[in-house]
A and B are shown apart, each in its own frame.
Chain A
Amino acid sequence: MDTTVTDRTNDPATARPAGVPATATIRTAEDPPAKTTHDRPTFRSKLGSAFAMFRNGKSIAGLSILGFFVLVAIFADVLAPYSPTAVDHTARFQPPSAEHWLGTTHIGEDVLSQVIHGTRGVIVVGFLAAIIATLIAIVVGVMSGYLRGWRSESLSALTNVFLVIPGLPLIIIVASMFEDPPLAVVAAVLGLIGWAWGARVLRAQTMSLRNRDFIQAARANGEPLRRIITVEMLPNLMALIAASFVGTVTAAILALTTLSYIGVIPVTTYNWGTILNWAGAQGAFRQNQWWWYLPPGLCIAAIGVALSLINFGIDEYVNPRLRSAGERARAMKKKGLNVNDTVTAVRPATRTEENP
């Protein structure tokens, strides 16, 4: 019997001093350096974790489409076969052909070149407006969430005022003050009217964060206010900030194309809305000249889909339950269960003899 029991107390490898709980890690000077599975965070790994929210299928798909449009915007001059305003009276209302891949307009302009050059305005205005709006939203939202008393209330009131400012009339007025409003002005106005919603969301999240223990602990450590906000809080707000940024890009792009389509911002530089405006004015919809209005419309839809995909990806990152929801649904379907059943399916009860 004794032979089957190993006396562990004499085994130098497992012996531990009396009174030390078994969970404790004993380290002596002779210990070989422990293998670190986690290397010291480098700039690269930090950058990687900051962008972790974009590391999923939906976000990557969205970012690829968006990246494609950004590249088109940057290299528009190289990519476009013609100048977007080059008039060719010999080729009017032409359907797609080898010379004009997407056909021509009423005065023989190349639609493809217009769409390519139009990308630039859309991307510039979308991103510029979103950068302006996000910066204002972060400053106002985080400050009003962190501060207390009248300062918080007045910033919140300011946010509410901007929430209800009717954006389209404002931009029509501003646009009418310029003969030919530069894209930067359009972007600035769109940014100025578009920050309030992001600020509202960030304020709510900051208010919840400021009472978390780790913020209290940082304050008890004597961290200065600017570090508490920038180092302790902002990283935890990154997903919301990214989502609000992407949302504002979408809103700004839709606003720009809408305003261009209805013709209130007469930008000489083309964007997709301007093309649709001309197409509509020249009766392309009635005459079924699909090559004129379909490409810009599809581009607007594609960039909207891309931005939504990025937002879905961020959503899944923030709320992991969404991530597994799809997998769960697939697994259920495999088993032949209906995902939309409100309750778990119960097998019909097998009759058993009841005891008296």
Chain B
Amino acid sequence: MTLLEFDAVTKVYAVRGAGHITALDDVSFTLRSGQTIGLVGQSGSGKSTIAKILTQLETPTSGEVRLDGRAIPRRGAGLRAYRQQLRMVFQDPFASLNPYHSIRYHLQRPLRLDRIVPKSEEDAEVRRLLERVRLDPGVVIDRRPHELSGGQRQRVAIARALASRPKLLVADEPVSMLDVSIRLGVLNLLADLQREEGLGVLYITHDLATARHFSDEILVLNQGRVVERGPADDVILNPQHPYTQELRAASPDPDAHFASASGIDGGAL
């Protein structure tokens, strides 16, 4: 079942004194529920514009975005329902949680705003959410964000995104601000949750390795255009478009480094 559909979406920014910048140029793709699409591309390729359109910070210049077959509503009850179905995990867990509020507050708000559970069950639901992201509710529930580590905060952010029981999760570089040693843990958590809940995930990243590890399909963006799309392994291992080849060549390859360092295959890259 098609969950999200980008239909010939174009976004043009007017820049003072510099004419226009086309951030997205005729981008079309679909995302089925339960599917993970990795959106890769370098800075300025239009990844974040897609996230901004989905979170309604920007509106497309032309084209249409549909969730569950319906165009994104502008206001009212439709907008509320749309927001409830699509949630975002932000890049920087140090900035995405309000330093003033407790973890309990962060998870309670979406529950109350979307009336997910009756008030009397809120507390139990908050605890359940924390357990879902493998945090100990007894320890973290009344803490403030600054008392948690980066990985723990990102888990809280994921729990917050899941609180309204969305169908689609937009993860904008969810691990790029985390310590390398905990990235895999967070990504595996996302993958588990996605499998268990049948979530659609749009994974925005510039890291080809995690995109391949985590996504079913990969979409390569370059200067606002989709230049390549296909199953994750295909796109990464057998890139067709020159830009994808460049991207791949630019990312460090641990095997190649090991080989050249040990002198087996010196210099050949």
| A and B pair up | yes
Do residues A214 and B96 form an inter-chain contact, with CB atoms below 8 A? yes
Residues of A within 8 A of B92 (CB): 213
Determine, out of B24-32, B137-145, B243-251, the stretch whose residues face the partner at the interface: B137-145
In the complex, what's the smallest C-beta–C-beta distance from B117 to chain A, in angstroms? 15
Of the candidates A25, A222, A232, the one whose C-beta lies within 8 Å of that of B83 is A222
Q: Flag whether A212 is at the interface (Cβ < 8 A).
A: yes
State in angstroms the CA–CA spacing of A25 and B189 once bound together: 13
Find B138's partner among A33, A217, A221 (CB 8 Å cutoff): A33
CA–CA, A211 and B91, complex, Å? 14
A218 touches B98 (CB 8 A): yes
A236 to B145, CA, bound (A): 14
B100 to A40, Cβ gap below 8 A? no
| Closest beta carbon of chain B to A174's beta carbon, Å | 40
Q: Which of B64-72, B108-116, B197-205, B223-231 contacts A (4 or more CB under 8 A)?
A: B108-116
Q: With the chains together, A286 CA to B181 CA distance in Å?
A: 77
Cross-interface CB contact of A223 among B113, B137, B184, cutoff 8 Å:
B113
Query: How many whole Å from A196's CB to the nearest CB in chain B?
Result: 27
Q: How far is the CA of A221 from the CA of B80 in the complex (A)?
A: 9
Q: How many residues of A contact B (CB 8 A)?
A: 27
A21 with B98: CB separation less than 8 A: no
Give the complex CA separation of A25 and B140 in angstroms: 12
| B-chain residues with CB within 8 Å of residue A24 when the two chains form the complex | 134, 185
- In the complex, the answer to whether A222 meets B114 with C-beta atoms within 8 Å is yes
User: Which B128-163 residues have a C-beta within 8 angstroms of A?
Assistant: 131, 134-139, 141-143, 151, 157, 160
Q: Which residue on A lies nearest to B151, using beta carbons?
A: A23
User: How many residues of chain B are within 8 Å of chain A by beta carbon?
Assistant: 42
**Residue interface mask A18-39, B partner, CB < 8 A = 1:** 0001011101000001111111
CA distance A36 to B151 in the complex (A): 21
- Flag whether A216 is at the interface (Cβ < 8 A): yes
Complex partner residue of A35 from B100, B110, B138, CB under 8 angstroms: B138
Q: Select which of B91, B134, B164 is within 8 A of A25 by beta carbon.
A: B134
- Cβ-defined contact, A25 with B136, below 8 A: yes
Contact present for B188 and A216 (CB under 8 Å): no
Which residues from chain B contact A218 at a C-beta distance below 8 Å? 98, 109
CB distance from A161 to the nearest CB of B (A): 26
Chain B residue nearest to A215 (CB atoms) is B98
**A180-202 at interface with B (beta carbon < 8 Å):** none
Contact of B113 among A213, A216, A221 (CB under 8 A): A221
CB distance from A352 to the nearest CB of B (A): 33
**Residue of A whose beta carbon sits closest to that of B188:** A21
Contact A213 B96 (CB under 8 A): yes
Interface string of A217-230 (1 = CB under 8 A from B): 11011110000000
A319 to chain B, nearest CB (A): 15
8 Å CB contact of A40 from B80, B87, B99, B142: B142
Give the residues in chain A near B55, CB-CB below 8 Å: 216, 220
Q: Cβ of B95 and Cβ of A214 under 8 Å apart? A: yes
A22 nearest in chain B by CB position: B185
B139 contacts A36, C-beta separation under 8 Å: yes
Which residues of A lie under 8 Å from residue B98 when comparing CB positions?
A: 214, 218, 232, 235-236
Please give me the residue from chain B that is nearest to A238 by CB atom.
Answer: B100
Assembled-state Cα–Cα distance A216/B96 (Å)? 8
Q: Does B18 contact A (CB under 8 A)?
A: no
B173 CB → nearest A CB, Å = 12
Chain A positions within 8 Å of B151 at CB level: 23
- For residue A41, CB closer than 8 A to chain B, the reply is yes
What are the residues of chain B within 8 A of A37 when measuring CB–CB?
139
Q: Which residues of B contact A38 (CB under 8 A)?
A: 142-143
CA distance A222 to B83 in the complex (A): 7
Q: Is B261 an interface residue (CB 8 A)?
A: no
Q: Contacts A23-B185, A221-B113: A41 and B142 contacting too (C-beta < 8 A)?
A: yes
Q: Report A111 CB to chain B, min CB distance, Å.
A: 48
A10 to B251, CA, bound (A): 42
B178 to chain A, nearest CB (A): 12
Q: Which residue of A lies closest to B160 (CB)?
A: A217
Q: Is the CB of B109 within 8 A of A221?
A: yes
State whether A34 touches B96 (Cβ < 8 A).
no
Question: Cβ of B102 < 8 Å from any Cβ of A?
Answer: yes
User: Which of A34, A216, A236 lies in contact with B99, CB distance below 8 A?
Assistant: A236
Minimal beta-carbon separation of B108 from chain A (angstroms): 11
CB neighbors of A among B45-83 (8 A): 55, 57, 79-80, 83
* Contact residues in B for A36 (Cβ distance below 8 Å): 138-139, 141-142
B135 touches A25 (CB 8 A): yes
Name the 4 nearest CB pairs between A and B, nearest first.
A34-B138, A213-B96, A235-B100, A213-B95
24 A–B pairs (Cβ distance < 8 Å), ordered by A = A21-B184, A23-B182, A25-B136, A34-B136, A37-B139, A38-B142, A40-B104, A41-B102, A213-B91, A213-B92, A213-B95, A213-B96, A214-B99, A216-B96, A217-B96, A221-B83, A221-B164, A222-B80, A223-B109, A232-B101, A235-B100, A235-B101, A236-B98, A236-B100
